[in-house]
Structure 1
Amino acid sequence: MTPGGGSGPMKDCEYSQISTHSSSSPMESPHKKKKSVPKRKWEVFPGRNKFFCNGRIMMARQTGVFYLTLVLILVTSGLFFAFDCPYLSEKITPAIPAIGGILFFFVMGTLLRTSFSDPGVLPRATPDEAADLERQIDIANGCSSGGYRPPPRTKEVIINGQTVKLKYCFTCKIFRPPRASHCSLCDNCVERFDHHCPWVGNCVGKRNYRFFYMFILSLSFLTVFIFAFVITHVILRSQQTGFLNALKDSPASVLEAVVCFFSVWSIVGLSGFHTYLISSNQTTNEDIKGSWSNKRGKENYNPYSYGNIFTNCCAALCGPLSPSLIDRRGFIQPDTPQLAGPSNGITMYGATQSQSNMAAATPLLQSEPSITSEELPLPGKTSLSGPCATLTLGQPTPPSSMPNLTSDSGLTDIIPLKEEHEGHQFLTPEEAPSPPGMLPSGSPIAHSRTMHVLSLASQDSLHEDSVRGLVKLSSV
């Protein structure tokens, strides 16, 4: 049939050649394994947080109030720059929009820095660390069998002569450091926890408190600045056209004045409160609980205060910024195979530390008696000239009827040379077929002393089978 002269259905048929070559070995799965892309730590972060830009931005899960904060600042400032600043720069001075712009950008920068950063989240304990800590608590409570533990779990440390209790976090499985607390909304332990602020959409802690304070302080100045010059704008217009006409000519100024009037009191009051906290080196959490109040005792005092307002302010605002402890953009390290050294006759191949510990506790993976050359009976030979290496678990064990071929003298006794057996008749391959693992059919082996000698290839295959079996037992 010519290429162009077929019937209609035959033209639609397509044929593909089936490849008979397979890159996978018989012991491996025929399906191609997809390359696993390594995950970053923020993708499996246990806390209730949201991450953006590949983990660079970290926020709380509830961010609705944060967007309201952004809208209020952007809308109020935008109306001020669009409707009030042109008139004020013409009638008074061009410095008004310049100062307003500097305050606006400073407010937005500190707000985003507070909202998008790690507040000082403490990493949770690993399973091994948690188990070790539980064991220590059991021993301290006199209950080594894991029974009833008297709550609460606390430790006491002395800081500047003041006894401070460290509480145990049942969620993070750690003893919280001094001044740390667990945020119920973010489900994280935060170092030097101040409070959870929904207006910034994040916790306020050790790593972003200074930015939070600069945000509310600069926002106070911006609110007072806008409110003052909006009133000035309305007064100047009312002198020319009357008060009602001035309100009709600039309705945006009325909206700005209302927003600033109702927000300035809370913002300025919040700034004053945190100024007091910084000057006394306290946190909002400590002040609400009265941790260092004199009502708890005459000897109760704040061990973190330097005794000087200026020094306390410098420590809170000008000290070095501690690095993040959670490494949210780092990659999760998989369990890399490690070759463990032989212990009690056990050789672990490709096993991790946890698998080695499991193997030590599993009866199936315990050491077996090693087989030496003395336990292998040799026909016509009582001993070998060289020592035989010990065979441990995970290596192929030859049959008991097979002699160990580690010395040249043993090979010469078992496999005679061709000149010594010229008169003997040898079997043909058809008469005495040899399975894989025997010596080639061309080798002169006497029929009276035929031995099954394992080749190097068969030993490697048996070694691979035993290793795979051991790995399967370790992964159960």
Structure 2
Amino acid sequence: MSAVMITRKVRKWERLPGKNTFCCDGRVMMARQKGVFYLTMFLIVGTCALFFAFECPYLAVHLSPAIPVFAAVLFLFVMAMLLRTSFSDPGVLPRALPEEAAFIEMEIEAANGNVPAGQRPPPRIRNVQINNQIVKLKYCYTCKIFRPPRASHCSICDNCVDRFDHHCPWVGNCVGKRNYRYFYLFTLSLSLLTIYIFAFDIVHVVMRSVDKGFLNTLQETPGTVLEVLVCFFTLWSVVGLTGFHTYLISLNQTTNEDIKGSWSGKNRIQNPYSHKNIIKNCCEVLCGPAYPSVLDRRGLMQEDLSNAVTSFAPPSISIPAPQTTKTTAPLIPNEHTPDDAKPSIAASTEKISTHKVKSPSSKEEQPPAPKVPPLASPETDAETSISKDKTY
């Protein structure tokens, strides 16, 4: 049995750890829990479909044809921002290789020294200075790295995300450094679309009620009632979320930092990332450079399959030569022979089988009994008696 070295090329996204799912050969990256994302898609597409079916034909004729056109443009922009937020890499940081993790562990042990038994080891942190402010870099026990500033580990996706804001189930992905601006534009445009549909639903009902009455109008446009209900309950949450993130952008702060109170005035720690100017903060978050992904999801790597594939060579079967026993036993059984020259048991068995096969068919063919000469040795007498019993 010999191992065969077989390798094959695979994309790096196929072997990435974590709890993400990939589609389109690694171009699409999402979390595994996508049920709420599908609900978001259904609510947006369904509400807009009802608006185009019940409101737009009437409003385009009685008010302006620009109403459905602007609604279509706004709808497409909302869907583009949603898909861009959901399908992009939020800024996942690669995990340390085994060699890198071992080197980091050695550095930590050398820095901490020998910890006495029963005492808790010191926290694994490193201090860096950003804008004259000390920032702590925490060690991730899962990814085996010291997280960069503002990074955090998402428990749902099981990855460290750079400039982690939060995990949003409505978009089915984490919100971080690489997709935060698209998330904010999605919430902002969705708020405008919700207000737009809700406002023209009311206008449509009011204009129809003038001629046909309020109840008759509701009977003729049942989809309008459903649109109003969906938009009314969605409006508060979406608009409130947009306002909250507008506040965070003006401070150049993340949701994670706001929840933990990292830069609150109680700790007398100032935000080292803020420019102390609302316009500059907004420009940095919304108009900053597009950061490339550090995962290289579609890169190629060699996978070793030698442990899984083994070639079996046909074993060489060596048949041992039969052992032959040399004997000087005489052909006549009643002849005196010494003990070391007596016939073997195999020879005796062969004689027995020969006598059984060649059984006489008649009395005439039966050979006469051999003559037994008198011997003085008692051993020879015993052998003679045994041979007689076997013969007859």
Q: Do these two structures clear the TM 0.5 threshold for a shared fold by scoring above it?
A: yes
Indicate the residue corresponding to 1:303 in structure 2: 272
Letter in 2 for 1:291: S
Q: Indicate if the aligned counterparts of 1:138 and 1:146 stay in contact, CA closer than 8 A.
A: no
Matching residue within 56, 62, 65 for 2:33: 62
Match of residue 262 from structure 2: 291
SS of residue in 2 equivalent to 1:332? strand
Residue 84 of structure 1, CA deviation: 0.6
Q: Indicate how the Cα distance of structure 1 residues 146 and 117 shifts in structure 2: closer, same or farther if over 3 A, else same.
A: farther
Determine if contact 1:60/1:201 at 8 Å carries over to the other structure. Answer: yes
Verify: 1:314 aligned to 2:259, yes or no: no
What is the percentage of aligned positions where both structures have the same residue? Answer: 66
Q: How does 1:116-155 map to 2 (within 5 A)?
A: 116-143=87-114, 150-155=121-126
Query: Is the CA contact 1:120–1:207 (under 8 Å) kept in the aligned structure 2?
Result: yes
Letter in 1 for 2:73: I
Residues 36 and 131 (structure 1), Cα distance of their counterparts in 2 relative to 1, 3 Å cut: closer
From the superposition, tell whether residues 58 and 101 of structure 1 become closer, same or farther in structure 2 (CA, over 3 Å): same
Q: 2:292 aligns with which of 315, 323, 330?
A: 323
| Match status 1:193 vs 2:164 | yes
Segments ≥4 residues shifted beyond 6 Å:
144-149
Q: Equivalent of 2:238, from 264, 267, 283?
A: 267
Residues in 1 aligned to 2:282 and 2:38: alpha-carbon distance in whole angstroms: 30
Cα separation, partners in 2 of 1:84 and 1:303, compared to 1, 3 Å: same
| CA distance in structure 1 between the aligned counterparts of 2:8 and 2:76, rounded to whole angstroms | 40
Q: Distance in 2 between matches of 1:146 and 1:49?
A: 39
Deviation at 1:334, TM superposition (A): 5.0
Paired position in structure 1 for 2:132: 161
5 Å matches for 1:19-34?
none
**SS of match in other structure, 2:300:** coil
CA contact (8 A) 2:115 2:121 kept: no
Indicate how the Cα distance of structure 1 residues 147 and 169 shifts in structure 2: closer, same or farther if over 3 A, else same. Answer: farther
Aligned length: 304
**1:240-259 alignment, distance < 5 Å:** 240-259=211-230
Gap runs ≥5 in structure 2: 305-392
The structure 1 residue matched to 2:76, chosen from 105, 121, 125, is 105
User: TM-score by structure 2 length?
Assistant: 0.75
Corresponding letter in the other structure for 1:328: R
1:196–1:202: 8 Å Cα contact kept in structure 2?
yes
* Residue 42 of structure 2 is aligned to residue 46 of structure 1: no
For structure 1, which runs of at least 5 residues remain unmatched after alignment? Answer: 1-26, 336-476
Of 196, 204, 220, 2:175 maps to 204
Match of 2:335 in 1: none
Normalized per residue, which structure has more helix? 2
Tell me which amino acid in the other structure corresponds to 1:315: E
Considering only CA atoms, is the larger Rg found in Structure 1 or Structure 2?
A: 2
CA displacement, residues 56-97 of structure 1 (integer Å, 9 cap, x when unaligned): 100001010000000000000011011110100000000100
What's the C-alpha RMSD, in Å, of the aligned pairs?
2.0
Q: Which segment is superposed worse, 222-231 or 324-333?
A: 324-333
Name the structure with the higher strand share.
2
Q: 1:228 aligns with which of 199, 204, 207?
A: 199
